[in-house]
Structure 1
C-alpha cells in the first residue's frame, strides 16, 4: 500500500471542525455556550453522547440526567442568513444522517461571506422534542450508515457482495471504529471495500481482473468552476482530480464522496 495513500487517508480521518454549542430544554437554557472540536466523520448523535457525559453530567443530578430521552434530542443550526430561514420560522435542523464535517462545509461555505475564514458552526442542542422532530437515536444513524455503505458498494463494484460477505463482527468493527475514530480498525475492513487508485490497482490486480472504477477526472462530471467549485472535507478540489484517487483517500466512512458545491 502506498505511503502517500495512507498519509492522505490519515489527514482526512483525523481532521476536525470547530463547533459553538449551547443546550436548551423546554426553551430554557441548560448550558451556556461551549466551544469544542469534533472529528469530521463523527455523526451528531455521537457528539450528543460525548456532551451528555462531559458537560451535562456536571450540571445535572443523576435523576435529571436519566430523565433525558435520547430519542427526543435534536440540533438546531443558528445564525443563518434570513434568506435561509423559512416563512414559518421553522428552525433549521442538523441532518442526523450527515457526518458533522459535511454539515459544517454546507453551512460555513455556503453562508459565510468570508471565504478564507472558518468560523465555528453554531448549534443549539435541544433536549426536548419539537412537534415535527423525528426520533434521533443511535440505531437510526447506524441503519442509515449501513444502507449508504451498501449503496456505495453497488456504485463502485456493481454488486454488494463485498459487504454481504463480511462477518457480523466485521460490520460492527466498522461502526465502532467510527464512534471511536479508530483509523486502523476502520481500514482493516474498509480496505476490502474501497477502490484503490488506478496506479496501485494495476500493480496489485490479478492478470484477468479489470480495474474498477475507471480513472475519471471530476471535470467530466461537474460544471465549469466559473459558477461554482466543489468542496470535499473542507478542501476545494481541482476539477482535474481523479475520482478513484479521491474515493480511496477522501471517501466518507460509508464509502461516498460527499461534495458541497459552493457558488462563487
Structure 2
C-alpha cells in the first residue's frame, strides 16, 4: 500500500534534519605546530557538501598554517584514513561509504550504540596543498565548479525520471540557482517548492528511477608501494522502471519457467497458454535482486548484504518510487550503499 504524502514529507524532513558530528584537523605537514592542531568541531547536515566548510576551516586554521597567504579556501580538500574524499558526494554518503556503523552486523542495541559512538565524531583531515589531481577536479574561488557539478547531477536525475531534461532546463535562473542554495542552506521548504516543479505528480509514474548503488571493494595495493592499499568503490547504475511485471503467483512463476513458448498464429500446434502477468511497483528488494542477484538472492530478505541509505538499513519491501520521492539527496539521486552482512 502506498504511503500517504504526509508520511513521505515526514520522512524527508527527518532526513534533512539529520546531522553528523565532524572533527576536522589540519594536515600535520601544513601545520607550524609540532603537535597536532586543535580540531574544528561541528555538527554538519548529512545532505551538505564538505567544500562549503572550507572558508570557515581556512579562517580557523589560519594561525596554524605554515604559509597562510599561499593558499585560498578553494585549495582545500579532505581525506579520511589517507583516502581523498570526492567533494561532489554529500557528506552523509561519504560517511556511509567509509566510516558508517554497519547496521547489518549489529546483534543488539547495546552493540549498535557502542559501534556508532566509536565511529563518531567522524575524524577528517583538511589539506590546503598537494591537491590530488588524479582523483579530484579542482575547485574555484567563485564556487561555480561545485555549483555546476550539482546542477549536472540534477539534470541527469531529471532525464532519468522523465526521459527528458526539459524540466531542469526550463527552470528560471533564480530557481536553478535557488535549488543549490536551498541545499547549501538546508532550506527544505525552498527545496520542495523548486523540486515539485521537476518531479512528476504522484498520479504520473516516473519513466525510470534515479538510483546508484555503491559497492565498497577490498583494498587494492598501491602502485608505489605494494604494502600500501586503499579502498575502492564500484558504482552501479542501470535503468530501473517504476514497475516490474511478474506472473500472478509464485507457482505460476515456476510454471512459466518450464512452459514452452506459445506458438505464433502462423505456426501449427496448440501449445500451453502463458500464465497471466501483472505489474507491481518496484521494491528495493526487486531492484537489488535484478541488478545484484548474487548478493541479493531474495527479493524480501537480506541474506548476504543490506542496503543502507542515510545511515539506515532500507526495508527490502519499500517502494522505490516512494524512496525516490522522499529519500533522495538534494540532487535527486538515491545513493544506496551495499553493506555485507556478518
Name which of structure 1's ranges 105-114 and 127-136 shifts more when overlaid on structure 2. 105-114
- Structure 1 residues 245 and 39, CA, compared in 2 at 3 Å: closer, same or farther? same
Q: Give the structure 1 partner of residue 250 of structure 2.
A: none
For normalisation by structure 1, the TM-score amounts to 0.80
1:139 CA displacement: 2.1
Give 1 or 2: higher helix fraction. Answer: 1
Cα deviations by residue, 1:81-132 (Å, 9 ceiling, x for unpaired)? xxxxxxxxxx310111101000011112378997522222221001223464
Residue number among 240, 243, 259 corresponding to 2:320 in the alignment: 243
Q: Once superposed, what is the RMSD of the aligned Cα atoms?
A: 2.6
- TM superposition outliers: structure 1 runs of 4+ over 3 Å: 64-67, 109-115, 130-134
1:26 CA displacement: 4.2
Matched, 1:28 2:38: no
Q: Give the structure 2 partner of residue 169 of structure 1.
A: 174
Residue number among 134, 153, 157 corresponding to 2:158 in the alignment: 153
Matched, 1:216 2:282: yes
For the pair shown, the structure with the greater C-alpha radius of gyration is 2
- In the alignment, the residues of structure 2 paired with residue 242 and residue 113 of structure 1 have an alpha-carbon distance, to the nearest angstrom, of 20
Runs of at least 5 residues in structure 2 that lack an aligned partner in the other structure: 107-111, 208-241, 243-280, 289-295
Query: Within 5 A, what are the aligned runs for 1:68-147?
Result: 68-78=71-81, 91-109=82-100, 115=106, 116=112, 117-118=115-116, 119-120=119-120, 121-130=122-131, 132=133, 134-137=137-140, 138-147=143-152
Alignment size in residue pairs = 237
Higher relative contact order (CA 8 A, sep 6+): 1
Q: Give the structure 2 partner of residue 88 of structure 1.
A: none
For normalisation by structure 2, the TM-score amounts to 0.63
Runs of at least 5 residues in structure 1 that lack an aligned partner in the other structure: 79-90, 203-209
